[in-house]
Amino acid sequence: KICDLGVIGLGTMGAMLSLNFAENGSDVALFNRTPEKAEKLRAYNPGLGERLHPQASIEDLVAALRAPRVIVLMVEAGPAVDAQLEAMMHLLDEGDVVIDAGNSDFNDTVARNRRWDPTGIHFVGMGVSGGELGARHGPSIMVGGDRKVWGRLQPLLEPIAAEYEGSPCVAWLGPDGAGHFVKTIHNGIEYADMQMIAEIYGIMRDGLNLSAAAMARIFADWNRRGLSSYLVEITAIVLAERDPRTREALVDVIIDEAGQKGTGRWSVIAAQRLGVGATTLEAAVSARTISALRHERLATGEIYGNLDCRQAGFENSSEGIGELEAALEAAKIVAYAQGYAALAAASRQFGWNLPLGEIARIWRAGCIIRSVFLQDIARAFDEGRSVVNLLQEPYFTGRMKATQQALRRVVVKAVEAGIPVPALSASLAYFDDYRRTRGCANLIQAQRDLFGAHTFRRLDAHGAHHHQWPAD
């Protein structure tokens, strides 16, 4: 049987994507380092078995494909990708397409594009979001690489992607690293969303002494309004879940150390390199890092003791809970404004011409950060004005005006009570900084001029000035 495409790497994501391709009518050649995995995938999915074609070697996989070939790599990001590419390169012909669908560092993707360019074999870096379920039933797909091959990939990818009101959540976003870069920023925003939700949970738990079940009801309620999103939805599900062992809330027995595989960190490193302050994203990544120092935190807690968080002034009333909801919305708008600022900066710096509205559209379904909110972002870009920062867009301006006081009150109360809210407060500080018409960097400029003759600009005259400081 001549196959439509090949999938190499049948871990969870590779396996689920293969099933998704097969279900949507593609014949898929499969290869995994341990070949039994491919056989098992076919055996366990009898309905799709006819379209799944396990291969004993990469050579066999390449030989099984219709030319020009399309091969999807779903192996661990990093050296494993290069190892697979090296093993395959000499088997491929001009016009073939190799898609790296893992969470690769976009810098690696740029380098791989450069290396593959002269061969005439197309290398495509593709971000896939939505976890296991998304990969199986419809992920959001962010494609980067040579525009010329998009026409060939579209009929393969559109059927497997998530759909939002009939449009597939997949798009070609730009050359070389564009797809993986956009996925990286998606993950930075994912970290920020998750951290801010966790901080609100921390306030409800420590400041209001609410049970997990009560919090589950609140998040479920929020999920019916402006904050409606996959992450708020699963938060309600998580909080409602009971531990089969203790019959208590499962979340209460889970250790408070968060893992991370690196993409969140890459997003803030990339933002810094681009000269974009993504402070909420940074706070979220750092909070995960600090969460992992559980033993150090336990020791430090012994030294300093804990504040009584219930004195914080949070209220378990509909106004009090509404204030938390509004605070989360305000902080979220700021986080997305930062993520979008990083996308816009990368677009300029790398000449990618990223379609920012389209990115919001393909994030509306399938991916981890999917939400109704992304529809509002898409709309802001669709209106045709050039968007400097989402915080200046009329819709978001209105929402910020309605919610920023709540964020301020929540942060103040949390800070007073010693409940850490690093991401919420980073959002508030960014907002306050960004709208401050007379900042305090005039002092920094003066200091720089004093110790390094770096010069400063004046409000009342043009040009660069240097002052003869007394210490000179």
Identify which range of 55-63, 259-267, 400-408, 464-472 contacts ligand 6PG by CB under 6 A: 259-267
In angstroms, the CA 12 to CA 380 distance is 36
Catalytic residue among 40, 86, 183, 282: 183
Nearer to ligand 6PG, 257 or 472 (CB): 257
Nearer to ligand 6PG, 52 or 128 (CB): 128
Considering the rule CB under 6 A, would residue 125 count as an interface residue with ligand 6PG? no
Nearer to ligand 6PG, 228 or 260 (CB): 260
In the complex, minimum distance from the CB of residue 187 to ligand 6PG, in angstroms, rounded to a whole number = 5
| Structure token digits, residue 43 | 């055996």
Which amino acid is residue 292, in one-letter code? Answer: A
List 147, 261, 294, 457, residue binding ligand 6PG (CB under 6 A) = 261
Q: Please state the three-class secondary structure of the chain as a single string.
A: CCECEEEECCCHHHHHHHHHHHHCCCCEEEECCCCHHHHHHHHHCHHHHHHEEECCCHHHHHHCECCCCEEEECCCCCHHHHHHHHHHHCCCCCCCEEEECCCCCHHHHHHHHHHHHHHCCEEEEEEEECHHHHHHHCCEEEEECCHHHHHHHHHHHHHHCCEECCEECEEEEECCCHHHHHHHHHHHHHHHHHHHHHHHHHHHHHHCCCCHHHHHHHHHHHCCCCCCEHHHHHHHHHHHCECCCCCCEHHHHCCCCCCCCCHHHHHHHHHHHCCCCCHHHHHHHHHHHHHCCHHHHHHHHHHHCCCCHHHHCCCCCHHHHHHHHHHHHHHHHHHHHHHHHHHHHHHHHHCCCCCHHHHHHHCCCCCCCCECHHHHHHHHHHCCCCCCCHHHCHHHHHHHHHHHHHHHHHHHHHHHHCCCCHHHHHHHHHHHHHCCCCCCHHHHHHHHHHHHCCCEEECCEEEEECCCCCCC
Distances (CA, A) of 176 to 100, 139, 257, 432: 11, 21, 35, 36
The binding site for NADP(+) consists of 9-14, 32-34, 75-77, 103
Cβ atoms of residues 164 and 139 within 8 Å: no
Catalytic residue among 1, 37, 59, 190: 190
CA angle 160, 162, 165 (to 5 degrees): 130
Nearer to ligand 6PG, 263 or 425 (CB): 263
Considering the rule CB under 6 A, would residue 264 count as an interface residue with ligand 6PG? yes
Considering the rule CB under 6 A, would residue 263 count as an interface residue with ligand 6PG? yes
The binding site for substrate consists of 103, 129-131, 186-187, 191, 261, 288, 448, 454
Considering the rule CB under 6 A, would residue 185 count as an interface residue with ligand 6PG? no
In angstroms, the CA 146 to CA 144 distance is 7
Number of residues that bind ligand 6PG (CB under 6 A): 13
List 18, 32, 103, 425, residue binding ligand 6PG (CB under 6 A) = 103
Nearer to ligand 6PG, 185 or 215 (CB): 185
Cα 392 off chain centre by: 22
Considering the rule CB under 6 A, would residue 273 count as an interface residue with ligand 6PG? no
| Structure token digits, residue 377 | 């972002």
Nearer to ligand 6PG, 137 or 217 (CB): 137
Considering the rule CB under 6 A, would residue 229 count as an interface residue with ligand 6PG? no
String marking each residue 325-364 x if it binds ligand 6PG according to CB under 6 A:
----------------------------------------
In the complex, minimum distance from the CB of residue 338 to ligand 6PG, in angstroms, rounded to a whole number = 17
Nearer to ligand 6PG, 141 or 309 (CB): 141
Closest CA to 14 of 77, 60, 68: 77
Considering the rule CB under 6 A, would residue 190 count as an interface residue with ligand 6PG? yes
When CB distances to ligand 6PG are compared, the closest residue is 129
β-sheet bridge partners, residue 31 = 8
Considering the rule CB under 6 A, would residue 235 count as an interface residue with ligand 6PG? no
In the complex, minimum distance from the CB of residue 348 to ligand 6PG, in angstroms, rounded to a whole number = 25
Considering the rule CB under 6 A, would residue 130 count as an interface residue with ligand 6PG? yes
β-sheet bridge partners, residue 456 = 465
1 among known catalytic residues: no
Considering the rule CB under 6 A, would residue 289 count as an interface residue with ligand 6PG? no
183 among known catalytic residues: yes
The binding site consists of 9-14, 32-34, 75-77, 103, 129-131, 186-187, 191, 261, 288, 448, 454
List 5, 203, 367, 423, residue binding ligand 6PG (CB under 6 A) = 367
Nearer to ligand 6PG, 36 or 256 (CB): 256
Identify which range of 32-40, 51-59, 81-89, 128-136 contacts ligand 6PG by CB under 6 A: 128-136
List 35, 68, 131, 277, residue binding ligand 6PG (CB under 6 A) = 131
Considering the rule CB under 6 A, would residue 368 count as an interface residue with ligand 6PG? yes
Residues that bind ligand 6PG (CB under 6 A): 103, 129-131, 187, 190, 259-261, 263-264, 367-368
Q: Which residues are catalytic?
A: 183, 190
